[in-house]
Structure 1
Amino acid sequence: MYVKRSTRKTAGGATVGYLQLAHNEWDPAAKVSRTKVLYSFGREDQLDVAGIRRLVAALCRLLEPGDGLAAAAPAELRFLESRALGGAFVLDGLWRKLGIDAAMRRMLTTTRMEPRVERILFALVANRALAPSSKLAATRWIEHDVVIDGLDAPVVDESCYRAMDWLIDVEPQLARIVFDNTADLLNLEVDLLFFDTTSTYFETGDADAQVGRDERGVPVTDGETAVKQAGFRTWGKSKDSRGDLPQIVVGMAVTRDGIPVRCWAWPGNTADSALIRQVKDDMRDWSLARVVWVADRGFTSAENRRYLQKAGGHYILGEKLRGGTPEAEAALSRQGRYRHVADNLQVKEVRLHSDLADDRFVICFNPDAQVRDAAVRATMVTILQDMIDGSDKLTRDKRAELRGVISTKPGLKRYLRTTPGGLLRVDKKAIDAEANLDGKFLLRCSDPKLSAEDIALGYKQLLEVERGWRDMKSIIDMRPVYHRAEDRIRAHVLLCWLALLLIRIAETRTGQTWTTIRDELQRLHLGTFTGPAGSFRQRTELTATQKKILTALGLPEPRRIFE
């Protein structure tokens, strides 16, 4: 079946075309094929195009969807590819709102590097947020799977590495610009800054060789005063329970709104206690107003406390309850009534004698956590009791061997008591002492103006940092790290930080999780078509949810036809 075109001469001598729907039938008697006209469309110059479109649509409804689309499309028009558009479009919009693109291009003008370094770095950040992979895999992702505005030419891995090396050089200036622009965009409150660290390990059995480092842990050349220290990837106290593998330590400062304002990386054997002093120095010139530093128990040394109070600063620090410190024992011994703050949190401020401490101490109590702690302890005691049952009949050496096994399990060792005769018993006094601590944590604060309630709620927001670590490791996939050189590892951490910054802003403005936002945006695609008249790229139609996300973020809709 086909459309037959015939022509006729008018009285005036003009040629007029006529269109007919026809097909060929075999005449068995004459043994020839004859044309049979099924329908006449009339004159070609007076064709009812709308009527034909309705007819095609009606016929396509009788076919399978794929067959109907193929039948309705012009034979010359070909669909070449489809790439994800929505996620990168939104991240790029936030990237530009923060002025990161303009800042990078401005700094690039003083170098010999090409301007598209900024686009490459954005693409690597978008890759962490949308489809985390190695840098080599990221180049294929950029070339085939995603639409990055201004980055149509292929990107090779060497270009990524050069861009990452440059990022390390400009990180201090860039971090300050990003912070200022983020504070303006979100009207951030930065009276509280939360700091915490984590570790990330490497799937290799070899640690880096020793290098010369200055007092801040930064590598220096042999000609400078330096102390030989462990390499960047080295063994340390793992927060991932992988002490068998070399690691690095990563630190992050976060506002009370959960916005990560800066990130650091240190050698894997760096102790937490000294890090917060370097962080305070790095942010000294950021023109921050009165700031209260909030950190966990690992940073509560006397030296850290003195350092954080320089230039009028203050702190809220977690205090060890089980360390047996005079301050903790005195605080827990004070009587007083708890006041309800929020949810299940209750607080009680206690005043210590100035001989012990000039700081304020706040005991926090959560009844739900008390129930959980008691249940965990009961389980531990049951396990311990099962292990030592019948041990009285063992020889002294066998009991000593069992005691050694239990000593490797901190949760059980805490409740084990050995009699003068070497017998193993459950320590009831230790159980009673632990029960007195169920659901409680102790805070130490130097600020005389904050209320006990604000101190407790401020410390509770330290969970925002912990949520950041979870997202860094599970959504952005900070690990595994495919680099060996220290600067490349540091640059990788910075890319993860920038990705976390963008997704936190998206979450703050929309009220949705990044996983939900990403899944919805990645359904917005850009298709490429080609035909006799050329090629064009057109996006899919926006859904109501996608429009709502763009509105919440203050971003325009992507244009319908790109090229």
Structure 2
Amino acid sequence: MFVKVTKSGSRRYVQLVESYRGEDGRVKKRTVATLGRLDQIGSELESVISGLLRLTGRSMPDHVAPTFESARALGDVWALTELWEELGFGQLRKAFRRTRHSIDIEALVRVMVLNRLCDPDSKLGVLRWLETVSLPGIVAEAIEHQHLLRAMDALIVHQDAVDQVVSALLRPLLDQELAVVFYDMTTIRAEGLSQQDGDVRKFGMAKEGVIARQFMLGVVQTADGIPLYHEVFDGNTAEVTTLKPTIEKVIQRFPIRRVIAVADRGLLSTDNLAELQAISLPSGQPLEFILAVPGRRYSDFVELLTPFQQADCLNATQEVTGELEWEGLRLIIAHNPETAAEQGAQRDRLIAELERKAAEWTGKLDAQDAGKRSRGRKLSDGGARARFYHEVCEAHLARIVRVNLKSELFSYDIDAQALAHARLMDGKLLLVTNTADLKPDEVIERYKSLADIERGFRVLKSEIEIGPVYHRLPDRIRAHAMICFMALVLYRVMRQRLAASESSLSPERALSLLRRIQHHRVTLNNTQPISGISSISQEQTSILSALQVKKPTASKQLPLL
């Protein structure tokens, strides 16, 4: 039974109508009563409602009492969920079909990956975060801490199947004609003092220059900034031992016709060069590489660079590139006069300041020897020598400013040859490569793109917050790294799409603005709750458009947990 408004000429009437099924089985409607003309019933409406309520044994409420639930963030998790499905991460459901767990592993992994991008926290923190978001298709109340840990365990148990899914979704993003692969490693701090079988947490030299308990994370990335592969190594693993097996795994996993491995200075050694030249692609072609010469080895190239410096660089006003032969390989040289001038001026300022301090302390020592008194503590030759040596080391000039540590008296000298060598190397970048068809400026451009993978590590350590890691089991640490790797893939795809749309927003800023799109629920006098989504601004619309994601709707549902 329902209320219906009908027209008769220019007048409108309010009728009470009921539906019934006729003898032929069809649904029909008939008028039970006419309540009056719509333009006249307004003053009597409350009495009509009161009469109907009395007949049903109910009473009219004194006022409408809405109950509002806390608003939940929707926009950011909506956009990430859409990207997750579009890229093919949803295929992980197939990888976990044979798991012994009754929980939805793919949904739990998705929750942890999205948390890394929205509000990275511990696994217990993930549960708190779920209380503040409206994640499509996820019943937050059904998730427990143990479920997240079981999902991490399943990631490792089914790692081969997971790797196949991730590799398959990454292949369409690759340049099949020429894939330039960038490889680098970083250290991830690990907490805890316990020891486990096969523990990857080892004490080693961290990137910050201190000894810490850590594990090593190697990442392979395309020239377009898409992460291809990652691997966890023991915390005391030398970088030079990881490149060859890592590149071989990437070659096996991705059908790339040509691979140019671009790696940082820490990977250049004579042994490593021999191993790299022995690697062949499935096509039979040798692995090509571009490696930077470490600054500590620049002195090995002084004789080679002296003619280049005299011929091309003295009067140059723009960047100069050149090529020499070194141990059967190409040595590519880039000289930037502006950078050289800046580096030289900065070194001269540091040396001048060190000489000023040395002169001040020497004068004070001479005055003390002459019997003159001064304010403050008395200075000794040993104290001046220690302070000066510390200053020299802080300025990274120990090879040029030589402090005599064995002399009883405070003394130092400037190594003229070392200073000349340093000036010769100012503004230069030295690269070793076995590529045959790339011009020197193309080789340099390829290497400079390596800075992008460094940005990827900064994203892992800042926005995604991969460390410090509090897991103690090796497989849990590997699962945590895998979750962060998936988050990095989503982050990079977001960055690509924002850049392609000429947006100046970073992925984290875009997610912050989308987070303001919220999901609301209100209940009126204990009736059925009403759900709704807050209004979407023009800026938020443009972000969704740049990410190629449609606007959120309340009806969208994914498989429930």
TM normalised by structure 2 equals 0.76
| Cα separation, 1, equivalents of 2:79 and 2:390 | 55
Mapping 1:159-198, distance limit 5 Å: 159-185=147-173, 191-198=179-186
Structure 1 residues 471, 194: CA separation in 2 closer, same or farther (over 3 Å shift)? same
Mapping 1:356-395, distance limit 5 Å: 356-389=326-359, 390-391=361-362, 393=366
**What SS class does the counterpart of residue 156 from structure 2 fall into?**
helix
Q: Residue 399 of structure 2: which of 414, 428, 431 is its match? A: 414
Aligned to 2:82: 93
Aligned to 2:210: 242
Q: Please report how far the alpha carbon of residue 558 of structure 1 lies from its aligned counterpart in structure 2 after TM superposition.
A: 1.6
Aligned to 1:147: 134
Q: Residue 268 of structure 2: which of 279, 287, 300 is its match? A: 300
Q: Which amino acid aligns with 2:69?
A: L
Aligned to 1:258: 225
**What SS class does the counterpart of residue 483 from structure 1 fall into?**
coil
| Cα separation, 2, equivalents of 1:93 and 1:118 | 15
Q: Residue 424 of structure 1: which of 412, 421, 426 is its match? A: 412
Q: Which has the higher contact order (CA 8 A, sep 6+)?
A: 2
Q: Residue 67 of structure 2: which of 69, 78, 81 is its match? A: 78
Aligned to 1:491: 479
Structure 1 residues 179, 364: CA separation in 2 closer, same or farther (over 3 Å shift)? farther
**Bigger shift: 114-123 or 164-173?**
164-173
| Cα separation, 1, equivalents of 2:527 and 2:176 | 52
Q: Which amino acid aligns with 1:363?
A: I
Structure 1 residues 321, 16: CA separation in 2 closer, same or farther (over 3 Å shift)? closer
| Cα separation, 1, equivalents of 2:556 and 2:83 | 20
Q: Residue 319 of structure 2: which of 326, 331, 346 is its match? A: 346
Q: Please report how far the alpha carbon of residue 132 of structure 1 lies from its aligned counterpart in structure 2 after TM superposition.
A: 0.8
Please tell me whether the aligned partners of residues 367 and 439 of structure 1 are also in contact (alpha carbons under 8 angstroms): yes
**What SS class does the counterpart of residue 413 from structure 2 fall into?**
strand
**What SS class does the counterpart of residue 239 from structure 1 fall into?**
coil
Q: Aligned residues, how many?
A: 476
**Bigger shift: 369-378 or 293-302?**
369-378
| Cα separation, 1, equivalents of 2:238 and 2:129 | 38
Aligned to 2:552: 558
Mapping 1:267-306, distance limit 5 Å: 267-286=234-253, 287-306=255-274
Structure 1 residues 560, 261: CA separation in 2 closer, same or farther (over 3 Å shift)? same
**Bigger shift: 370-379 or 489-498?**
370-379
Aligned to 1:323: 297
Q: Please report how far the alpha carbon of residue 535 of structure 1 lies from its aligned counterpart in structure 2 after TM superposition.
A: 1.9
| Cα separation, 2, equivalents of 1:14 and 1:451 | 91
| Cα separation, 2, equivalents of 1:92 and 1:329 | 58
Mapping 1:50-69, distance limit 5 Å: none
| Cα separation, 2, equivalents of 1:554 and 1:124 | 23
**Bigger shift: 117-126 or 295-304?**
295-304
**What SS class does the counterpart of residue 317 from structure 1 fall into?**
strand
Q: Sequence identity of aligned pairs in percent?
A: 27
| Cα separation, 2, equivalents of 1:110 and 1:15 | 63
Please tell me whether the aligned partners of residues 136 and 556 of structure 2 are also in contact (alpha carbons under 8 angstroms): no
Q: Please report how far the alpha carbon of residue 460 of structure 1 lies from its aligned counterpart in structure 2 after TM superposition.
A: 0.2
Mapping 1:20-59, distance limit 5 Å: 41-42=42-43, 44=45
Q: What is the root-mean-square deviation in Å for CA atoms of aligned residues?
A: 3.3
| Cα separation, 2, equivalents of 1:367 and 1:78 | 69
Structure 1 residues 328, 294: CA separation in 2 closer, same or farther (over 3 Å shift)? farther
Q: Please report how far the alpha carbon of residue 501 of structure 1 lies from its aligned counterpart in structure 2 after TM superposition.
A: 1.1
Q: Which amino acid aligns with 1:506?
A: M
Please tell me whether the aligned partners of residues 99 and 154 of structure 2 are also in contact (alpha carbons under 8 angstroms): no
Q: Which amino acid aligns with 2:538?
A: A
Structure 1 residues 43, 299: CA separation in 2 closer, same or farther (over 3 Å shift)? same
Please tell me whether the aligned partners of residues 196 and 253 of structure 1 are also in contact (alpha carbons under 8 angstroms): yes
Please tell me whether the aligned partners of residues 220 and 230 of structure 2 are also in contact (alpha carbons under 8 angstroms): yes
Q: Please report how far the alpha carbon of residue 16 of structure 1 lies from its aligned counterpart in structure 2 after TM superposition.
A: 5.0
Q: Please report how far the alpha carbon of residue 258 of structure 1 lies from its aligned counterpart in structure 2 after TM superposition.
A: 1.3
**What SS class does the counterpart of residue 198 from structure 1 fall into?**
strand
Aligned to 1:539: 533
Q: Please report how far the alpha carbon of residue 154 of structure 1 lies from its aligned counterpart in structure 2 after TM superposition.
A: 2.8
Q: For residues 158-217 of structure 1, what are the alpha-carbon distances to aligned partners after superposition, in whole Å with 9 as ceiling and x for unaligned? A: 11111111212334443443243234157677621111111122355x4x5485xxxxxx
Corresponding position: 1:120 with 2:88: no
Unaligned runs of 5+ in 1: 1-12, 21-38, 48-73, 212-218, 220-230, 339-343
Structure 1 residues 329, 138: CA separation in 2 closer, same or farther (over 3 Å shift)? farther
| Cα separation, 1, equivalents of 2:33 and 2:431 | 98
Q: Which amino acid aligns with 1:264?
A: E
Please tell me whether the aligned partners of residues 522 and 531 of structure 2 are also in contact (alpha carbons under 8 angstroms): yes
Q: Which amino acid aligns with 2:223?
A: R
Q: Please report how far the alpha carbon of residue 43 of structure 1 lies from its aligned counterpart in structure 2 after TM superposition.
A: 5.2
| Cα separation, 1, equivalents of 2:405 and 2:100 | 76
Q: Which amino acid aligns with 1:513?
A: S
Structure 1 residues 557, 401: CA separation in 2 closer, same or farther (over 3 Å shift)? closer
**Bigger shift: 295-304 or 320-329?**
320-329
Q: Please report how far the alpha carbon of residue 246 of structure 1 lies from its aligned counterpart in structure 2 after TM superposition.
A: 1.3
**What SS class does the counterpart of residue 426 from structure 2 fall into?**
coil
| Cα separation, 1, equivalents of 2:350 and 2:158 | 51
Please tell me whether the aligned partners of residues 182 and 188 of structure 1 are also in contact (alpha carbons under 8 angstroms): no
Please tell me whether the aligned partners of residues 538 and 561 of structure 1 are also in contact (alpha carbons under 8 angstroms): no
**Bigger shift: 434-443 or 399-408?**
399-408
**What SS class does the counterpart of residue 543 from structure 2 fall into?**
helix
| Cα separation, 2, equivalents of 1:115 and 1:254 | 33
**What SS class does the counterpart of residue 319 from structure 2 fall into?**
strand
Structure 1 residues 549, 363: CA separation in 2 closer, same or farther (over 3 Å shift)? same
Please tell me whether the aligned partners of residues 319 and 328 of structure 1 are also in contact (alpha carbons under 8 angstroms): no
Q: Which amino acid aligns with 1:346?
A: E
| Cα separation, 2, equivalents of 1:524 and 1:84 | 6
Corresponding position: 1:453 with 2:421: no
Please tell me whether the aligned partners of residues 85 and 526 of structure 1 are also in contact (alpha carbons under 8 angstroms): yes
Please tell me whether the aligned partners of residues 466 and 481 of structure 2 are also in contact (alpha carbons under 8 angstroms): yes
Q: Residue 521 of structure 2: which of 502, 516, 528 is its match? A: 528
TM normalised by structure 1 equals 0.76
| Cα separation, 1, equivalents of 2:74 and 2:306 | 57
| Cα separation, 1, equivalents of 2:99 and 2:196 | 32
